[in-house]
Amino acid sequence: MFLENNKNKGWIEVICGSMFSGKTEELIRRMKRAQFANLKVEIFKPSIDVRYSEEEVVSHDANAIQSTPVESAQNILLMASDVDVVGIDEAQFFDAGIVDVCRELANSGIRVIVAGLDMDYMGKPFGPMPALMATAEYVTKVHAICVRCGDLAHHSHRLTAEDKQVLLGAHDTYQPICRHCFKELIKKD
């Protein structure tokens, strides 16, 4: 299924952080650099993420790259043959199987770049992201700026009363805040 001569070239990179921290922007930047280097790339995203586009990975700044929406992580293995680099956006929305999928791709000689929220709106580890960070060779944590005080933000504060863990949204639903402001908001609840 994968190129045998690439056995020693595969690895996993994780880009994590809060909403509006530039995770998708960084994923797109890395994927476009790989394309520029004439590497074969394929980008995947969970099919539930249709906020900006059904067929593209799109950052909050409207930077975009063509992608393939998939129902489950296992579908990535079926579609990632004959590529050098696989990009995966919004990895927190996949089930725990995404970790084994990324390992299998990397073990097959593919560079795997994964972006996702490391914490949910309550400040708890989000889905498979902790396991992905643990198994990755490289982890980049990016930060937004707190909309309340201007410090580095790493929490995604939800602006609605909805309490389910997965709630797709953007500026109308979430805002980035720092640890101190998050702690103050939690006290009020």
Q: What confidence category does residue 156 fall into, taking pLDDT thresholds of 50, 70 and 90?
A: confident
Residue 100 lies in a domain: yes
Domain count, the chain: 1
The active-site residue, picked from 13, 26, 42, 90, is: 90
Residue 22 lies in a domain: yes
3-state SS, residue 105: helix
Residues 65-88 pLDDT 10s: 667 888 899 999 988 888 999 999
Six-digit token pair at 159? Answer: 């602006």
Residue 24 lies in a domain: yes
Q: What confidence category does residue 157 fall into, taking pLDDT thresholds of 50, 70 and 90?
A: confident
pLDDT at residue 187, rounded to an integer: 78
CATH number at residue 67: 3.40.50.300
Residue 152 lies in a domain: no
Residues 112-153 pLDDT 10s: 999 999 999 889 999 999 999 999 999 999 999 999 999 999
- The pLDDT mean for the chain works out to 85
Task: Provide the residue range defining the domain that includes 71.
Answer: 4-142
Q: How far is CA 19 from the centre of its chain?
A: 10
Buried b (16+ CB within 10 A) or exposed e, 90-122: bbbbbeeebbebbbbbbebbbbbbbbbbbbbbe
Residue 167 lies in a domain: no
Residue 164 lies in a domain: no
pLDDT at residue 129, rounded to an integer: 97
Residue 51 lies in a domain: yes
Calpha distance 87→39 (Å, rounded)? 12
What residues contact 150, with CB distance under 8 A and at least 6 apart? Answer: none
Residue 66 lies in a domain: yes
Q: Is 53 exposed, middle or buried (0-12, 13-18, 19+ CB in 10 A)?
A: middle
Verify whether residue 13 is a known catalytic residue: no
DSSP class of residue 172? T
Range scoring the smallest mean pLDDT among 89-93, 131-135, 152-156, 173-177: 173-177
